[in-house]
């Protein structure tokens, strides 16, 4: 009896499947051609200055002689050694006057600049607030407006420190090199 029941079930399902069969002729559908999508990759910085060294010349405009600057990829902003720094107010805004003297060439220049903000530099023994100003510089033949914090860097070997605010997108640093820029 079980065999007959299985046989009838198989015949029933076979008949049902045959009844559902499509008798119309079908034509193969060609695959849709989808145009290729161009993937735009983010632009890579051009590094117009190429590979530079750990110490490079920088011109603090309008001065004519370069300063030897320490290249510091760990510093967010650049820093500059100044003398006779005095803050004052002009038209309700904070300004600073200072002298910049090139230790190597002897050239001196007096500047008066609007203070952008005060930055706090934290050292092991103490914290120090420094004024930050915009300076025009010539770095590797490029004229750049860049922010510099002003400080007494007399104890440091280099009067200028060039940070990432100038380096980013312009140069790659190889600390084994020096004075690659003119």
The residue ranges of the chain whose pLDDT is under 50 are none
Q: pTM surpassing 0.85? A: no
Per the structure, the count of domains in the chain is 1
pLDDT value for 41: 65
pLDDT value for 10: 64
CA distance 91 to 10: 100
pLDDT value for 35: 75
Is position 165 within any domain?
yes
Is position 33 within any domain?
no
| Number of alpha carbons in the 13 Å side-chain half-sphere of residue 17 | 6
What range does the domain containing 163 cover? 50-173
């Amino acid at each position: 009896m079980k065999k007959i029941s299985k046989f009838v079930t198989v015949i029933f399902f076979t008949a049902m499947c045959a009844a559902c069969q499509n008798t119309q002729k079908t034509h193969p559908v060609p695959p849709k051609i989808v145009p290729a999508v161009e993937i735009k990759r983010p632009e890579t910085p051009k590094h117009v200055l190429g590979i530079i060294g750990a110490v490079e010349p920088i011109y603090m405009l309008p001065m004519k002689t370069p300063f030897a600057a320490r290249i510091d990829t760990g510093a967010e902003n650049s820093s500059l050694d100044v003398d006779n720094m005095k803050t004052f107010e002009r038209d309700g805004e904070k300004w600073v006057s200072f002298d910049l003297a090139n230790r190597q060439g002897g050239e001196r220049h007096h500047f008066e600049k609007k203070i952008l903000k005060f930055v706090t530099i934290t050292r092991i023994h103490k914290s120090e607030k420094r004024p930050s100003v915009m300076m025009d510089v010539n770095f590797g033949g490029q004229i750049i407006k860049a922010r510099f914090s002003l400080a007494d860097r007399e104890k440091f070997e280099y009067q200028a420190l060039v940070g990432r605010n100038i380096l980013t997108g312009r140069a790659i640093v190889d600390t084994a090199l020096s004075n690659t820029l003119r």
